[in-house]
Structure 1
Amino acid sequence: MPITDYPMLRWEDMAEGQQLPGFEYELSLLRLVAFVRATGLYDYVHFDPDYARAVGIKDAFAATPHIGGLFSRAVTDWTGPFGLIRRMEFRMTGQCLRNDLLQVSGSVVGKRRLDDGSAIVDVDLNIANGSSPSVASAKVTVALPSADGSLPHVERGRDPDDLVVPNDDMPDFAKAYMGEVREGNWEPREPLEASDVHLWCEALEDWNPLYWDSDFAIESFVGGLVSPPIGLFYGAGSSLGVGLGYRKPGADVPAPIVQGLHGMELMSALRQEMIRGGVPFPPPDCPETVVVNAVYNFYRPLRVGDTLRTEQRLATCSQLRKTRLGEGYFTSGENLLFNQRDELVRTVSLNLFCYRA
């Protein structure tokens, strides 16, 4: 398919205050399940309404990367495939629940040129539902083509401004973690396939041709099919942590299954193990966790055929705080994700509140 068949907005076409087209997204149970299938993120609260209600949530709700994927789609639906997202920071002030009709909107808040000539636009985004004018908001930095013929740099180095600076008043337990690096998830462990990315496109209705149109992608400035910048792909085998596939010969059977637990008791025990796996530097006696906000920086695309490993580091930790949820600590852990060539693909900083109710 010729490149000219897809739209291309240039930096000069943008003006401060310009509105993005936006879109509606019905968060049906089918789409929640489709996202789990695409990502391998088998947390019950994101697809099992009964479990969600049993742990005090109104209904099954969209996961953090699901929300990030909607924000990513809003940007490239507007810019076309030549808009390259460099940074995304988003905060969830409410939950996007099953059967919500989400309204995704945005506007341009600034444009600038960097020292290297990159043409940058800053965008504010918002997600509303029927009960709230804002359940999630984001700030996104996107590089665009320019009228001089220049295209965004596909690969870039890490900017000092991207670094997360530790706070000075860390508790002693957090100071003991500083400098420690732990291995996180593989996203994916096996080489990424075009069909994996296509499942993401189906769940998000994100039809950026760089993700699925191989003829276009090969001829484009990225040189082949790539994943959405925030794409998450745990792949086959990720369901073992929630009790699926444990009969495979050689599999490590989760302890709650070995103990003979069943039903809600089994699901709760498995999910606690899952939460502990997602909090590599846990504060003491704080078993519950909520995501406060997420910051993604993107340095090169995840390509079809790539694998992706994670290095985890503790970045910041507050003193003990009391909130309406309970007492706990605000922490941020930085995940650095490298491809099989040890090239930095992206960093993810999740700001968490780890607490006891």
Structure 2
Amino acid sequence: MTAAVTVPGRSYDDIAVGEVLPELPIPLTRTLIVATAIATRDFQDVHHDPESARERGSKDVFMNILTSNGLAGRFVTDWAGPRATVRRVTIRLGAPNYPGDTMTMTGEVVSKDNGLVEVKVQGANSLGNHLAGSVTVAYLASEGKEA
């Protein structure tokens, strides 16, 4: 006898266009900014050396785009659950993310079709919008195959 396997979290049927995701505040620590730049192999000095960043016109080190991209995807997949896989992340950067600030992620489901869910995302800090764009996730079908 085979036991049924259940996957926790949201299902595709649970989601509605217009649904608003819960806000996610992300504290922007110096460690987060530096460590994620290194983890993404972005060794540009403006992401880890405050003096070099100031020499280039910035007030401090700032977050790199790969980290911003990853945080946008994380925001949506944390909400969507383990049945969802990222298909596309499209963002534009605005105000820099500096240490000591907080970026608050917000989102809204803008489309749902054939197993795909597109979420409009925004990440704002005290200077304004850091990122804006969308994240598309695909949901696994009940048979364990992607929709």
**Which TM-score bucket, shorter chain as reference?**
0.7 to 0.9
TM-superposed deviation, 1:68: 0.4
Equivalent position to 1:129, from 125, 129, 145: 125
For the 8 Å contact 1:82–1:151, the answer to whether it is kept is no
> What amino acid is aligned across from residue 121 of structure 2 in structure 1?
L
Once the two structures are TM-superposed, the CA of residue 152 in structure 1 deviates from its matched residue by 5.0
- 2: distance between equivalents of 1:60 and 1:36? 10
Cα separation, partners in 2 of 1:18 and 1:145, compared to 1, 3 Å: same
Report % sequence identity: 33
Confirm or deny: 8 A CA contact 2:72 2:121 kept in the other structure. Answer: yes
**Cα separation, 2, equivalents of 1:62 and 1:152:** 36
In 2 relative to 1, CA 110–48 (structure 1 residues): closer, same or farther, beyond 3 Å?
A: same
Q: Partners of 1:74 and 1:22 in 2: how far apart? A: 9
What CA distance in whole angstroms lies between the structure 2 residues aligned with 1:60 and 1:139?
Answer: 26
Write the deviation string for residues 297-345 of structure 1: whole angstroms up to 9, x where unpaired: xxxxxxxxxxxxxxxxxxxxxxxxxxxxxxxxxxxxxxxxxxxxxxxxx
**1:112 maps to which residue?**
113
Unaligned runs of 5+ in 2: none
Provide the secondary structure at the position in 1 that maps to 2:69.
Answer: helix
Quote the Cα distance in structure 2 between the aligned partners of 1:90 and 1:100. Answer: 20
Shift of 1:22: 3.3
Question: Take 1:150 and 1:108, find their aligned partners in 2: how far apart are those partners?
Answer: 25
CA–CA distance in structure 2, aligned partners of residues 64 and 37 of structure 1: 12
How much does 1:145 deviate? 3.1
Q: Would the alpha carbon gap of residues 93 and 152 (structure 1) be closer, same or farther in structure 2, given more than 3 Å must change?
A: farther
Give me the whole-angstrom Cα distance separating, in 2, the residues matched to 1:152 and 1:63.
34
Asked if structure 2 preserves the Cα contact closer than 8 Å seen for 1:83 and 1:152, the reply is no
Aligned-pair CA distance for 1:43: 0.9
Deviations along 1:136-166, whole A, 9 cap, x unmatched?
11211111134xx144539xxxxxxxxxxxx
Q: Which residue of 2 aligns with 1:31?
A: 32
- CA apart distance, 1:96: 1.2
Larger RCO of the pair (alpha carbons < 8 Å, separation 6+) = 2
Opposite residue 25 of structure 2, the aligned amino acid is: E
- 1:55-105 CA-partner distances (Å, limit 9, x unpaired): 111221100101001001101101112211111111012211122211011
Q: Is the CA contact (8 Å cut-off) linking 1:9 and 1:145 kept in structure 2?
A: no
Asked whether the 8 Å contact 1:9–1:144 carries over to 2, the reply is no
The equivalent of 1:99 in structure 2 is 100
Aligned CA distance change for structure 1 residues 99 and 152 (closer, same or farther; 3 Å): farther
* Within-5 A mapping of 1:167-182: none
Using the alignment, how far apart are the partners of 1:69 and 1:34 within structure 2?
Answer: 13
Counterpart of 2:21 in structure 1 is: 20
For the pair shown, which has the larger CA radius of gyration, 1 or 2? 1
The offset of 1:23, in angstroms, is 1.3
The 1-side partners of 2:75 and 2:34 are apart by: 21
Residue by residue, what CA displacement relative to the aligned partner does 1:4-57 show, whole Å, maximum 9, x if unpaired?
5x7321111110111112311111111122213323321111121211111111
Q: Distance between the aligned counterparts of 2:145 and 2:90, measured in 1? A: 20
Q: 1:204 corresponds to which residue?
A: none
Contact 2:95 2:127 in 1 (8 A): no
TM-score, length-scaled by structure 2: 0.88
> Secondary structure, in 3 states, of the residue corresponding to 2:92?
strand
Q: Which has the higher strand share?
A: 2
- CA RMSD between the two structures: 1.9
Alpha carbons of structure 1 residues 91 and 151: separation in structure 2 relative to 1, 3 Å: farther
Amino acid at match of 1:153: E
C-alpha change, 1:108 and 1:30, in structure 2 (3 Å) is same
- Looking at structure 2, the residues matched to 111 and 150 of structure 1 have their Cα atoms a distance apart, in angstroms, of 20
SS of residue paired to 1:20: coil
Give, in whole Å, the separation in 1 of the partners of 2:71 and 2:82: 15
What CA deviation, in whole Å up to 9, does each residue of 1:193-217 have, x standing for no partner?
xxxxxxxxxxxxxxxxxxxxxxxxx
Residue 23 of structure 2 aligns to which amino acid in structure 1? G
Structure 1 gap segments, 5+ residues each: 114-118, 155-357
Cα deviation per residue 1:266-303 (whole Å; 9 max; x = unaligned)?
A: xxxxxxxxxxxxxxxxxxxxxxxxxxxxxxxxxxxxxx
Q: Which secondary structure does the structure 1 equivalent of 2:119 belong to?
A: strand
Figure out how many residues of one structure are paired with residues of the other and give that number: 143
Where do 4+ consecutive residues of structure 1 move more than 4 Å? none
